[in-house]
Amino acid sequence: MLKNQLFHILSTLDRKEMTRFKEFSLSPYFNKHLGVSALVGYLSAIYPEFTEKNCAKEKLMTQIEHPSAKTKEQLAILFTYTNRLLDRYLSQESLKSEPPLQQIGLLRQLRQKEQYKTYEKKLQNFQRDLGKGPYRDGEYYYHQFLTAQEADLYYTQRTSHEQDNAIQQKENYLDVFYLSEKLKDACEIKVRQRIISADYVTDLLEVILKVIKEHPERYADKPPIVVYYSIYQMMANDEHSYYYEAFKAVEKHASFFSKAEMQSIYNFLQNYCVNQINKGAKEFPRASFELYQIQLERGLLIINDVLPEWYYKNIVTTALRINEVDWVYDFIETYRDRLNPEVKENAYSFNLASYYYATQVYDKALRLLLKVEYTDLRYSLSAKALLLRTYYDLEEHEPLISLCKSFRQFLQRHKEVSDFRRKGYGHFFDWTRKLSQLRFNVNYISKIKTQLEYEKLEKGMGETAPLFNRDWLVQRLKEIRF
């Protein structure tokens, strides 16, 4: 019984939503089946304890006080009806969060009932309210299109021969919505192609890009087209100037987008910076850091009042890369209590260890890294890599060699590590071990042999890919004196 989708969906509701579903089931307008009401009432009473003890078929048949729940066959039918009601409830809740769609539905009903005087007044008020909204994103133009479409249907229904511009407005809004959505999707496709190497059919994209390029004045006051066109150009061209043009467009039009969409837009910019950093572009660590600062100031990185631990880690890593050590320490402490309580101490300890490592306070970094158990696989990999670098810089050769051996066993146990990470980290540990061995032996072998080993390491590091922390390895190799 617990495998029924009803339990899976109900377990995702919060207490308020569960109560509302109970009230929904008691409304004769939506549900006239008293057995369904009884089942929902029981499930609401035990929420969120949907356990085998509470929800076994035998238990339900004794707890649901209705004749339609006295046999297993009846109970199966009752669950089917309740699932349908839950679908309807979720649909209603979705519509409730979309006032424009409710208004358009109201206009449609008034038109069909030929309540023209009321219709015209409602339409005028709705168009005015739509124009007062703060956003000018794709959703705004979509709602404007639907409204103009409804107004044009009204014009057609009235069979009036008076001049009317509803159809022209419909065309204008549809163009902006369509172009902005196509551009947004084109940007997302660029991202996905880097991740999964998939092929997507975008036959009309070239036509769209050509139209916008040839008529920039036509779309200069349409924020979603300006922003997504500039982001697409950034992603499709190698010149760094396109990034700064996209950044300028985003900053100019930021107020016209919702928080959720701005989070997505900044992700496009941030991903571009990461790609450029991986290619060795020197100015993009600073650009990435500035993007994070902007997002922090505007609250774009806070999700449900929590700063995700990966933002926390990425911000620290980025800031340390450009030596913003004082800023990093303040950030680590300031945002510590904005982390999810379940991961707070691990995330705090790891990032504080990163700070201490960057400021060469290796003993504190080492203590933090050794005391924490990282249950998240990604944190474990990052922590072990940081511990390896710490051992190297402390010239703790034996612990370093031991860590390298245990890391190989770690990778063998965790088959879920992606091939890219497995190779990148594996190569890093291998080359660090060889580098430490060379430094350890430098006073015990001839200069000629040392030179040969040095050149072998230099050549090997340069040819190995993927190789994490390549810059760190190259720098440490240069520091070896013989």
Per-residue pLDDT of the chain (482 residues; tens, 9 = 90+): 568 899 999 999 999 999 999 999 999 999 999 999 999 999 999 999 999 999 999 999 999 988 988 899 999 999 999 999 999 999 999 999 999 999 999 999 999 999 999 999 999 999 999 999 999 999 999 999 999 999 999 999 987 667 778 999 999 999 999 999 999 999 999 998 887 777 888 889 999 999 999 999 999 999 999 999 999 999 999 899 999 999 999 999 999 999 999 999 999 999 999 999 878 888 999 999 999 999 999 999 999 999 999 999 999 999 999 999 999 999 999 999 999 999 899 999 999 999 999 999 999 999 999 887 777 888 889 999 999 999 999 999 999 999 999 999 999 999 999 898 999 999 999 999 999 999 999 888 898 999 999 999 999 999 999 999 998 999 999 999 76
Based on the fold, state whether residues 91 and 45 are members of the same structural domain: yes
Classify residue 356: in a domain, yes or no: no
Q: Of the residues 96, 127, 150, which one is the last residue of a structural domain? A: 96
Contact indicator for 233, 250 with CB cutoff of 8 Å: no
Longest dimension (CA), the chain: 100
Classify residue 14: in a domain, yes or no: yes
**39/347 Cα distance (integer angstroms):** 43
Contact indicator for 336, 344 with CB cutoff of 8 Å: yes
Q: What is the pLDDT of residue 147?
A: 97
Based on the fold, state whether residues 81 and 129 are members of the same structural domain: no
The DSSP symbol for 341 reads T
Q: How many CA atoms lie within 13 A of 376 on its CB side?
A: 13
* Residue 177, number of CB atoms within 10 A of its CB: 23
Classify residue 286: in a domain, yes or no: no
Based on the fold, state whether residues 388 and 457 are members of the same structural domain: yes
Q: Where are the alpha helices (DSSP H) in 138-240?
A: 138-158, 166-196, 205-214, 216-219, 223-236
Classify residue 154: in a domain, yes or no: yes
- Which token pair is 227? 């922003």
Specify the residue for token string 């929904």.
24
Q: Of the residues 63, 96, 129, which one is the last residue of a structural domain? A: 96
pTM as predicted:
0.86
Based on the fold, state whether residues 84 and 180 are members of the same structural domain: no
β-pair partners for 303: 306
**35/82 Cα distance (integer angstroms):** 9
Q: Under 8 Å CB-to-CB from 338, ≥6 apart: which residues? A: 302, 305, 306, 307
* 471-480 LR contacts (CB < 8 Å, sep 24+): 472/389, 473/428, 473/431, 473/432, 473/435, 476/392, 476/435, 477/435, 480/435, 480/438, 480/439, 480/442, 480/454
Based on the fold, state whether residues 30 and 133 are members of the same structural domain: no
Specify the residue for token string 């975008």.
202
Q: Of the residues 124, 156, 186, which one is the last residue of a structural domain? A: 186
Q: Where are the alpha helices (DSSP H) in 220-358?
A: 223-236, 241-253, 259-278, 284-297, 309-321, 325-334, 344-358
Distances (CA, A) of 253 to 134, 158, 198, 211: 11, 40, 31, 21
Contact indicator for 378, 414 with CB cutoff of 8 Å: no
User: Can the peptide bond before residue 466 be classed as cis, meaning omega within 30 degrees of 0?
Assistant: yes
Classify residue 444: in a domain, yes or no: yes
Q: What is the pLDDT of residue 164?
A: 78
Based on the fold, state whether residues 136 and 34 are members of the same structural domain: no
Based on the fold, state whether residues 378 and 444 are members of the same structural domain: yes
Based on the fold, state whether residues 78 and 163 are members of the same structural domain: no
Classify residue 456: in a domain, yes or no: yes
Per the structure, how many domains does the chain have? 3
Classify residue 397: in a domain, yes or no: yes
Q: What is the pLDDT of residue 1?
A: 58
Based on the fold, state whether residues 55 and 113 are members of the same structural domain: no
Classify residue 57: in a domain, yes or no: yes
- How many residues can be counted in the chain? 482
* Domain hosting residue 38, numbered range: 5-96
